[in-house]
């Protein structure tokens, strides 16, 4: 059985496109087809690829011995406590060779020959100087801690697109087995209390090392999870840090509240006491509801320069506004406590967790817990300074704690909460000028247009899961990647460029690398599989060859070396150095450079027992965002595209993926 839930498409795609493109705040590539968001999602968008999913499994297995790990949280960012290796800088010749291999499947013969000549010219004339500068960066004892880090941070913080859909992803956590426990406020309180106690583990120097096989991973990002804050700025945002935070913010009925969750002794509030505080907040917010016209959180869903300028106007108009912003900046995380029912469909739930339908009662510059009235529970993540494995570490421990289960791996249980701290709350107020109100009106209109343009479908494929796929002698991740690409080809009549993220946490300050999954073997599989003249044996050979190559390129990307290494981070870094030095290089102006990194399919696999659903926005206007999980007996795929694009259709994509999965099952019947 397969269930597909879709949010209905707009009656007039032309009208939707006009509305999206006419928005004064909408400047990202969904509307104009440029390369900015393309690049941003390449780093900020997809969460955890094949390597991430495997590591999550190892973390939960409890087999690895944890090394001694003593640290100070304030020094965690700058100190390589676990002596993990630096991210290696690839050789230019190896990157160019691999780049040409990845371009070949999406280029005509003429295009490929031109790109090959440009690559040869680049290597002869420019590569040595650019590589030398990257080498100096890579050898620096301080920031940046790798050749890519400064440029990656610039991309995250310098991106001017709306992070509401353009960057922030969501997790939906599993429903409770006991229906009586499906109470949104209670579940939010339990998760929040566990998050706070996990954070105390971090700040008190008690966090165990993450392990991959028998090697420790870099832990620099753990102190940023709740210790960092994204602050909007014109041209570029900034990060502020504070490791002594003791409160969260709660949003309900367009009102904001500060809730204290850590007492003067450094102990956390219990789930029961936090639930009681949240009920009080709900009662007060219901007695004195605000209006969306005064919901300042709307601004965080907007284009970043607009939000930065609006924030400056807020601060200038009132000291009260400055104080409230400071309280929010300095909180650990947020809780959106609206009475919203998403039981109509999992697609409706996906939309609510991703963008809240209109961006109200949110603060997208913070991680936000999002419960619903029927008891569903999600988390919306700010992607600026963290990736899937970091979030998975936190959520896995919190989820175990919520259910009285043994912690994953060899991790110690979270510390007990205070037995006496009851917590407290206070409303946060705003004093809005007419100019501020005009900003909020514009923000609300822009958010409605953007959220309304997201076309969501959720494929809950119940016929089989990874156990059956393994019997086909395929990696489950490879099977999904093949299904996505063949489905796209069937639906659109051409092959797609595809992005899958690979975690680089085994390196100091490592974040992600791209797995370019559209290989020559993948192209041959697509061609052979739907060729009426192909025999079943020929189809099986093509499938297994593509699956094997997918495993190779995934491993190569993770290793940062070898014949299947990733190319995107190194190419991006060389391009950035060239731009910094005022060099115009033909290779980076080549249409194939843009085409091969325009991620028509932006994909990410975050399979874990504590995640039920996972999604994010498509990164280009004519593409799809595919967040997926390969569980033992089912496969869940969250699909997004844009209604303003006449060619894409998320529900049809879900149906096409279903068809490929069933074709695989039939082909490999024993």
Of 29-33, 303-307, 382-386, 466-470, minimum mean pLDDT range: 29-33
What's the topology of domain 88-145+567-595? Fumarase C; Chain B, domain 1 (1.10.275)
Work out the pLDDT band at 213, boundaries 50, 70, 90: confident
Superfamily of 163-454 according to CATH: Choline/Carnitine o-acyltransferase, domain 2 (3.30.559.70)
Alpha helices (H) in 319-461, listed in sequence order: 319-329, 346-355, 388-402, 434-453
Q: Where are the domains of the chain?
A: 88-145+567-595, 163-454
Q: What is the mean pLDDT of residues 589-610?
A: 97
Given a cut of 70, whether residue 250 has pLDDT beyond it is: yes
Q: What is the mean pLDDT of residues 463-486?
A: 98
pTM of the model: 0.91
Q: Is 550 in the active site?
A: no
**Span 619-646, pLDDT tens digits:** 999 999 999 999 999 999 999 999 999 9
**Span 313-362, pLDDT tens digits:** 999 999 999 999 999 999 999 999 999 999 999 999 999 999 999 999 99
Given a cut of 80, whether residue 669 has pLDDT beyond it is: yes
Q: Say which residue, 19 or 395, is predicted with more confidence.
A: 395
Of 57-66, 161-170, 202-211, minimum mean pLDDT range: 57-66
pLDDT at 263 (0 to 100): 98
Of 45-49, 374-378, 466-470, 526-530, minimum mean pLDDT range: 45-49
Given a cut of 50, whether residue 42 has pLDDT beyond it is: no
pLDDT at 70 (0 to 100): 93
Of 20-34, 180-194, 211-225, 329-343, minimum mean pLDDT range: 20-34
498 CB-contact burial (10 Å; exposed 0-12 / middle 13-18 / buried 19+): buried
Work out the pLDDT band at 441, boundaries 50, 70, 90: very high
**Span 111-121, pLDDT tens digits:** 999 999 999 99
Work out the pLDDT band at 381, boundaries 50, 70, 90: very high
Work out the pLDDT band at 561, boundaries 50, 70, 90: confident
Q: Contact 606/503 with Cβ under 8 angstroms?
A: no
Percent of the chain, pLDDT > 90? 88
Work out the pLDDT band at 67, boundaries 50, 70, 90: confident
pLDDT at 670 (0 to 100): 64
**Span 493-520, pLDDT tens digits:** 999 999 999 999 999 999 999 999 999 9
Q: Contact 462/3 with Cβ under 8 angstroms?
A: yes
pLDDT at 581 (0 to 100): 97
Q: How far is CA 77 from the centre of its chain?
A: 21
Catalytic choice (254, 383, 509, 570): 383
d(CA 645, CA 455): 10
Alpha helices (H) in 23-162, listed in sequence order: 29-32, 36-44, 50-61, 92-103, 109-125, 127-138, 149-158
Q: What is the mean pLDDT of residues 413-430?
A: 98
Arithmetic mean of pLDDT over the chain:
91
Work out the pLDDT band at 6, boundaries 50, 70, 90: low
d(CA 401, CA 417): 11
Q: How far is CA 599 from the centre of its chain?
A: 15
The set of residues, in sequence order, having a beta carbon less than 8 Å from that of 54 and lying 6+ positions away, is: none
Q: What is the mean pLDDT of residues 253-263?
A: 99
């Amino acid at each position: 059985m397969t269930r597909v839930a879709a949010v209905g498409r707009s009656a007039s795609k032309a009208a939707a496109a006009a509305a999206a493109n006419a928005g004064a705040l909408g400047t990202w590539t969904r509307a104009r087809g440029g390369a900015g968001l393309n690049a941003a999602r390449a780093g900020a968008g997809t969460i955890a690829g094949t390597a991430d999913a495997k590591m999550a499994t190892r973390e939960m297995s409890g087999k690895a011995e944890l090394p001694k790990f003593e640290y100070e949280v304030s020094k965690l960012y700058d100190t390589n406590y676990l002596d993990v290796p630096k991210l290696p800088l690839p050789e230019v010749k190896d990157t160019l060779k691999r780049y040409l291999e990845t371009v070949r499947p999406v280029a005509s013969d003429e295009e490929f020959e031109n790109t090959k000549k440009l690559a040869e010219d680049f290597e002869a004339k420019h590569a040595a100087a650019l590589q030398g500068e990257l080498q100096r960066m890579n050898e620096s004892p301080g920031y940046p801690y790798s050749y890519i880090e400064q440029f990656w941070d610039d991309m995250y913080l310098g991106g001017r697109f709306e992070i509401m859909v353009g960057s922030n992803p969501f997790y939906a956590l599993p429903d409770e087995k006991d229906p009586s426990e499906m109470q949104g406020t209670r579940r939010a309180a339990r998760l929040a209390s566990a998050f706070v106690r996990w954070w105390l583990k971090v700040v008190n120097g008690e966090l165990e090392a993450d392990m991959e096989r028998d090697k420790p991973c870099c832990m620099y990002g753990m102190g940023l999870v709740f210790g960092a804050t994204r602050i909007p700025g014109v041209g570029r945002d900034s990060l502020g840090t504070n490791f002594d935070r003791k409160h969260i913010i709660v949003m309900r009925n367009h009102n904001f509240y500060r809730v204290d969750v850590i007492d003067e002794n450094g102990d956390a509030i219990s789930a029961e006491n936090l639930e009681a505080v949240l009920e009080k907040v709900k009662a007060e917010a219901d007695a004195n509801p605000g209006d969306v016209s005064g919901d300042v959180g709307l601004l965080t869903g907007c284009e970043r320069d607009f939000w930065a300028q609006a924030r400056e106007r807020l601060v200038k108009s009132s000291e009260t506004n400055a104080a409230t912003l400071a309280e929010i900046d300095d909180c650990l995380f947020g809780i959106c406590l609206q009475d919203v029912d998403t039981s109509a469909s999992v697609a409706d739930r996906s939309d609510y967790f991703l963008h809240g339908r209109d961006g109200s009662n949110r603060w997208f510059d913070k991680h936000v817990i999002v419960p619903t009235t029927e008891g569903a529970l999600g988390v919306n993540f700010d992607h600026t300074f963290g990736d899937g494995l970091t979030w998975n570490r936190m959520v896995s421990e919190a989820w175990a704690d919520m259910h009285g289960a043994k912690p994953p791996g060899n991790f110690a249980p979270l510390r007990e909460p205070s037995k006496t701290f009851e917590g407290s709350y206070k409303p946060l107020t705003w004093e809005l000028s007419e100019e501020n109100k005009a900003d909020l009106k514009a923000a609300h209109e822009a958010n409605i247009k953007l959220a309304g343009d997201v076309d969501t479908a959720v494929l809950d494929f119940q016929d089989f899961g990874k156990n059956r796929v393994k019997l086909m002698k395929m990696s489950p991740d490879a099977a999904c990647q093949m299904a996505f690409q063949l489905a796209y080809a069937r639906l659109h009549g051409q092959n797609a460029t595809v992005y899958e993220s690979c975690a680089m946490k085994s390196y100091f300050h490592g974040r992600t690398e791209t797995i370019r999954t559209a290989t020559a073997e993948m192209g041959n599989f697509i061609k052979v599989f739907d060729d009426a003249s192909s025999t079943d044996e020929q189809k099986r050979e093509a499938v297994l060859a593509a699956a094997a190559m997918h495993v190779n390129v995934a491993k190569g990307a993770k290793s940062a070396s070898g014949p299947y290494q990733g190319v995107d981070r190194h190419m991006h870094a060389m391009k950035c150095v060239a731009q910094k030095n005022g060099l115009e290089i033909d290779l980076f102006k080549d249409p194939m450079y843009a085409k091969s990194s325009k991620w028509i399919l932006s994909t990410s696999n975050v399979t874990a027992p504590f995640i039920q659903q996972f999604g994010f926005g498509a990164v280009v206007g004519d593409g799809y965002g595919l967040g997926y999980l390969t569980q033992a007996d089912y496969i869940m795929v969250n699909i997004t595209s844009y209604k303003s694009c006449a060619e894409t259709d998320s529900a049809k994509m879900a149906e096409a993926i279903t068809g490929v999965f069933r074709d695989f099952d039939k082909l490999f019947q024993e």
